[in-house]
Amino acid sequence: MGGGGNILAAQHARDRFVPASTLKILTALTALHCLGPGYRFRTEFFLTPAHDLLVKGYGDPFLISEVWQDIADHVAKKLHFFKNLLLDDTFFAAGITIPGQGLSTNPYDAPPGALCANFNTVFFSRDAQGHILSAEPQTPMIPFARKKIMGLGEKSGRYTFSHDRGQALLYAGELFSFFLEKRGVLRKGGIGPGLRQSQDRLIYTYYSKFTLEDVIKEMFAFSNNFVANQLLLSMGAADYGSPATVRKGLGTLLHYARNNLGLKNLAIVEGSGISRKNRISPEDMLKVLQRFHPYRHLLPREGPFFYKTGTLKGIRTRAGYIEKKNGKKGYIVLFLKSDHPNADDLMRCLERLF
């Protein structure tokens, strides 16, 4: 489609296709509408009457090691010791499953959670002797992570180490406890799940240093399925209340798509594009792109293109914008059902013809 609104070329524009990861554009657009571009996730820290430290999560997808270290700096100013570290992840409903997601160790299968660390993944390498090492300087190789990695049988890389909600929660707690201990805060008890009570005293609230726009930009850069579905769950909870569920998130997304964008003929079952049950037409994706246009800078850029790719077995998709130096601007939607013709070759052809 050209910048003047005329369709330059179209084929099967109203047929519904599997969008793969280009669906993340619709998820991002809905989150921006529902939560606001400047929205910041929060995580709360309480001291219980029994002097336990309780952490309540609200779905922040970017509780990465650097963030946990910053949090530990602030909490260390509030207390010098505590008994047990209690972890409350009940903002998300129990038993959440993402349609299309498998049980592999691949990061794209990382499960969601209201309180997580490092996208529910671990990133490791091995030395010449085969010893397990952290592959990122900001993340220590804590004993809990090493034990889980040994059970994976993988050589090196970033992996989802568990699909058990309790194990993922425990990893976040162990990592946070490590950073607290490094700052002189003594833990005298264990680490486990907890539930915030009315008598617990709030001692610190962490508001993410990443705005929603920042989160979305990073989500697009790495095509992060975990982040996309954290957004879906969070905006559903914002609309319908906690605990967050996939159904609530889809309620928010589909309401926005139908009532704000006029999309009447789509089928969406999750927010990342991993499921083959997702269906949207190129014509409807064009409407998404038109509304997303003010945020196009959040998409990865390659030459004159701002666009998102999508890849599933036998499926290659592209959706985004072209802005050439000669002033010509337009939208591009490619939904291909096979690996051939090559999507990147088609993009280069469109660049030459536009």
- For the chain, the domains span 20-38+212-353, 42-207
Q: Which residue is it, tokens 């162990």? A: 174
Q: How confident is the model at residue 5 (pLDDT cuts 50, 70, 90)?
A: low
Average of per-residue pLDDT values in the chain? 94
Please tell me the chain's helix, strand, coil percentages from 3-state DSSP, rounded to the nearest 5. 35, 20, 40
Under DSSP, the state recorded for 339 is S
Burial (CB count within 10 angstroms: exposed 0-12, middle 13-18, buried 19+), residue 172 = buried
DSSP state of 293: G
Strands 157-159 and 132-134: unpaired
The CB-side HSE value for 266 (13 A sphere, CA atoms) comes to 29
Q: What is the pLDDT of residue 340?
A: 61
Q: Is the pLDDT score of 57 beyond 80? A: yes
Residue range 213-217: average pLDDT? 98
Closest to 221 (Cα-Cα) out of 327, 62, 85, 35: 62
Q: Which residue has the tokens 């989802």?
A: 160
pLDDT band at 327 (very low <50, low <70, confident <90, very high): confident
**pLDDT for 226-267, tens place per residue?**
999 999 999 999 999 999 999 999 999 999 999 999 998 999
Q: Which fold has domain 42-207?
A: D-tyrosyl-trna(Tyr) Deacylase; Chain: A; (3.50.80)
Confidence at residue 215, expressed as pLDDT on a 0 to 100 scale: 98
Please say if the pLDDT value at position 339 is more than 70. Answer: no
Q: Is the pLDDT of residue 1 over 60?
A: no
Provide the H-helix boundaries in the chain: 23-35, 65-76, 143-152, 165-182, 212-222, 225-240, 246-259, 282-292, 343-353
Report percent pLDDT > 70 for the chain: 98
344: tokens are: 């990147």
How does strand 85-88 pair with strand 157-159? unpaired
Inter-residue contact 79 to 53 (CB < 8 Å):
yes
Backbone angles phi, psi at 334, to 5 degrees: -125, 120
Q: Find the mean pLDDT for residues 256-281.
A: 97
What pLDDT shows up at residue 4? Answer: 52
* Residue (of 232, 190, 198) closest to 215 by Cα position: 232
Give which of 205, 192, 244, 241 is closest to 88, Cα–Cα: 192
Residues 314-328, mean pLDDT to the nearest whole number? 91
Model confidence over 171-189: pLDDT tens digits?
A: 999 999 999 999 999 999 9
Say whether the peptide bond before residue 99 is cis (omega within 30 degrees of 0): no
Query: What is the pLDDT averaged over residues 281-301?
Result: 97
Q: Is the pLDDT of residue 152 over 90?
A: no
User: Which pLDDT value is given to residue 348?
Assistant: 82
Give the dihedral sign, CA 235/215/325/347. Answer: negative
Question: So what's the pLDDT on residue 42?
Answer: 98
Stretch 167-173: mean pLDDT: 96
- At how many degrees (to 10) do helices 165-182 and 65-76 cross? 50
Q: What's the CA gap between 252 and 318, in Å, rounded?
A: 25
pLDDT at 9: 76
Q: What are phi and psi of 307, to 5 degrees?
A: -155, 165
CATH superfamily of 20-38+212-353: DD-peptidase/beta-lactamase superfamily (3.40.710.10)
**pLDDT given at position 346:** 81
Q: At residue 186, what is the residue type?
A: L
Mean pLDDT of 146-163: 90
Mean pLDDT of 321-325: 91
Query: How far lies 155's CA from each of 89, 102, 126, 167, 263, in Å?
Result: 31, 21, 7, 21, 45
The pLDDT, as a whole number, for residue 341 is: 63
Model confidence band, residue 151 (pLDDT cutoffs 50, 70, 90) = confident
